Amino acid sequence: NADDGYRLWLKYDLIKDAGLRTAYASQAGFIQVTGRSGILASAAGELQAGLQGLLGKPVPVVSSGSKTGGIVLTVSQAVALPNAEGYQLTQQGGNVVISAKTEAGVLYGAFALLRHLQTRQPLRNLPQSSSPKVRYRMLNHWDNVNGTIERGYAGGTLWKWYELPETVDPRYRDYARANASLGINGSVLNNVNASARFMTAEYLQKVAAIANVFRAYGIRVYLSVYFPAPKVVGGLKTSDPLDPQVKAWWTDKVAEIYKLIPDFGGFLVKANSEGEPGPQDYGRTHADGANMLAEALGDHDGIVLWRSFVYKADPKGDRFKAAYEEFKPLDGQFHKKVIVQVKNGPIDFQVREPFSPLFGAMDRTPLAMEFQITQEYLGFATHSVFEAPLFKECLDSDTWQKGKGSTVAKVIDGSVGNYTLSAMAGVANTGSDRNWTGNPMGQANWYAFGRLTWDHTLASETLAREWVNMTLTTEPKAAQAITDMMLRSREIYVDYTNPLGLHHIMGYGIHYGPEPWLDRAPRPDWRHTYYHRADSIGVGFDRTASGSNALSQYKPEVQAQWNNPESCPLPYLLWFHHVAWTKKLPTGRTLWDEICTRYYTGADAVGWMQQQWAQAKPAIDPELYADVAGRLATQHREAIWWRDACVLYFQTFAKRPIPAPFRQPD
Ligand code: GCW
């Protein structure tokens, strides 16, 4: 039974255990729903298809009745839930009842019930109720008009601009289903390095055709904005956000968009960043630019997500500090429809970063989280790296913004600042590959990200287990072997690429493989020697008061965790300190020996991952097995490449031998 991965975690293969199947079937005699259009119809359709697969028998959809032994979908304001998208699953009067305040809530409840069965949980575990902690739960696509994807490793774009709006690929619906099953409710279709074309009538028609498909799954579309669009496609002389004609152009544009797409979500903006134009070109601030767009949205139910990813080419500066330096002074100046979207770390989606200091500092502005699902710095679609632990590490960090317990998660879900606007975005890893993500294991990252947007308290292990059970196998031993492999995979990747807080030493431009020796590039902060600062004494970036003092951007309690090289946790050590090669670490080894140990044991551990995967072989689809096994073999070879390149390069500074256990015999 070859599996091409297209169905993702929405597999619904027949449950082999006949007893369990009978138990479930006794509660799934029919699906009762009033109203057969829109989102409710999607919910009923998903249940019908899912149950048919899992139970191996057709389940009728009925519109009324007083029978028992079925599933009843109800939308009711009376349900006691904290928000409109939450759901309740209960057993009432002999039926399983899925209730919510809105149709979208019912859809999420339907997927939750299916997940319950897919992970083989007993129905007596109901009731259950759940509500999303974050309001805007989105994917960001870095997809271009010409069909390519910036940092995409799974083929070309899913959006077939040349065929739209007349031809609507059925795959758009499958994309929407997959996202809705996780709780994702928004999708930014185009790259933040945006083309102005998306603001033309021609492209808005195409976008509207996609929005028409997504609507039945509760997903709203958003667009990235090329800030000078008024000039480029509007024919104006300027795009100055304070110019009345520019404001009027955007107001008209918004009206045009909402006429075509009544539930349009809003705009995402990358401005004055990496060469993209923006309000600063006219002597205006990020707030001026964002607020102008927010005002143009007027009474429409849309928002502006304004990115804080900025940095200047300053050889004496520290790129780490740039976002704070530009945005902190604007705190409190943003329009109420604006959310500032912050990357998880201060630099750029590295294998490990301390959380961005903005999360602790912007106490008068709602902040959105921007994670990267696509593995730009994590080995593309070749290396298997389960990202949930990376996401969780950031979300669970305490910013101390309003005292102890102000975790990043609570900052972005709005509970620390008491905001109703809250958002979490993930840069998508999807593409036109049949299995969506290239590496089948990449599906787990999409899955984990989506589930965390709904509930950031979910544990990495829960997410891994759910995904494995739903996607690969429910056989306990195989599932355990794969789950264990996934849970260690990120730390293993850190060890063979950037141990102990090293960062930004990957291949120039492409961002693949090692290149720590890079010391020539158009900008000083694109040189890798800028980041690791290796010399004859030691390695690492001093960001304490004796160095760039980036640490001062954090609350004192956070500074205290990191500013002493004696007590700074090893994973962050070289992020904040320049440490001598001979320095003894708490592990008992010198820094040099520790770095070598990490590179060697990390590369070795990929061998362990291969063994774990091999253990699961009998329980999973043979083609999928072979696909991942092949990628793991490449990963092993490339881990050794990383290890040797980095150890030998740093050895030219440390001038010390590779520690005995790892030394090759002469
Ligand atoms: O991670 C870097 C990428 C760029 C990207 C940029 C950003 C979309 O290398 O490709 O551009 O970040 O986030 O804006």
Q: Give the position, in ligand 1's atom list, of the atom nearest the Cα of 192.
A: 8
Verify whether residue 491 is a known catalytic residue.
no
Q: How much distance in Å is there from the Cα of 277 to the middle of ligand 1?
A: 15
Asked whether residue 481 is domain-assigned, the answer is no
Ligand 1 pocket check for 281: Cβ under 6 Å: no
Cα 426 to averaged position of ligand 1 atoms, centre (Å): 13
Domain stops at, among 130, 149, 169: 130
Q: Are both 320 and 397 inside the same structural domain?
A: yes
270 C-beta closer than 6 A to ligand 1: yes
Ligand 1 pocket member 348 (CB < 6 A): yes
Ligand 1 centre distance from Cα of residue 323 (Å): 14
Domain boundary among 130, 150, 166: 130
The verdict on the CB of residue 592 being under 6 Å from ligand 1 is no
Q: Which amino acid is at 447?
A: Y
Low-confidence ranges of the chain (pLDDT < 50): 1
Closest CA to 514 of 365, 328, 319, 351: 351
Domain co-membership, 288 together with 423? yes
- The residue type of 396 is D
Interatomic CA distance for residues 489 and 484, integer angstroms? 9
Q: Rounded distance, CA 138 to CA 481, Å?
A: 31
For ligand 1, the distance from its centroid to the CA atom of residue 449, given in whole angstroms, is 19
Residue spans of beta strands (DSSP E) within 271-347: 303-307, 338-343
pLDDT digits (tens, 9 = 90+) for 123-169: 888 889 999 999 999 999 999 999 999 999 999 999 999 999 999 99
pLDDT of residue 81: 94
Q: What is the pLDDT of residues 438-468, one digit of tens each?
A: 999 999 999 999 999 999 999 999 999 999 9
Give the Cα separation of 632 and 637 in Å (integer).
9
Asked if 376 is an active-site residue, the reply is yes
Secondary structure (H, E, C), 5-68: CCCCCCCCCCCCCHHHHHHHHCCCCCEECCCCCHHHHHHHHHHHHHHHHHHCCCCCEECCCCCC
Distances (CA, A) of 336 to 15, 91, 143, 198, 213: 49, 41, 28, 25, 30
Choose, from 174, 348, 604, 644, the residue flagged as catalytic.
Answer: 348
Q: Considering 276, 326, 376, 393, which one is annotated as catalytic?
A: 376
* Interstrand relation of 303-307 and 367-372 (parallel, antiparallel or unpaired): unpaired
pLDDT score recorded for residue 525: 85
Residues 508, 515 contacting (CB under 8 angstroms): yes
Q: Is the CB of 148 under 6 A from ligand 1?
A: no
**pLDDT score of 50:** 98
Taking alpha carbons only, the member of 123, 130, 47, 43 closest to residue 91 is 123
Are 363 and 255 part of one and the same domain? yes
Total domain count for the chain? 3
| 178 and 310, same domain (yes or no) | yes
Residue ranges with strand state E in 229-343:
266-269, 303-307, 338-343
ipTM: 0.99
User: To test the ligand 1 pocket, which listed residue (376, 503, 512, 525) has its Cβ within 8 A of the most ligand atoms?
Assistant: 376
- The answer to whether 288 is a known catalytic residue is no
| CATH code for position 649 | 3.90.1330.10
The answer on 93 and 170 residing in a single domain is no
Does 263 reside within a domain?
yes
> Residue 37's pLDDT is what?
76
pLDDT at position 526, please?
A: 86
Domain around 141: 136-465
Rounded CA-CA distance 532/645 in Å is: 15
Q: Is 151 in the pocket of ligand 1 (CB under 6 A)?
A: yes
CA trace torsion 424, 560, 352, 450 (10° rounding) = -20
How is residue 352 written in tokens?
A: 């490990």
What is the predicted pLDDT for the residue at 2?
Answer: 58
Q: Which two tokens stand for residue 157?
A: 């774009």
* Shared domain check, 34 and 176: no
Candidates 191, 273, 348, 369: which one to mutate for ligand 1, based on the most atoms within 8 Å of Cβ?
348
Under 8 Å CB-to-CB from 55, ≥6 apart: which residues?
14, 15, 21, 24, 25, 28
- Indicate if ligand 1 lies below 6 Å from the C-beta of 311: no
**In this structure, is residue 59 part of a structural domain?**
yes
What ligand 1 atom has the least distance to the C-alpha of 343?
13
- Of 89, 113, 130, the residue that ends a domain is 130
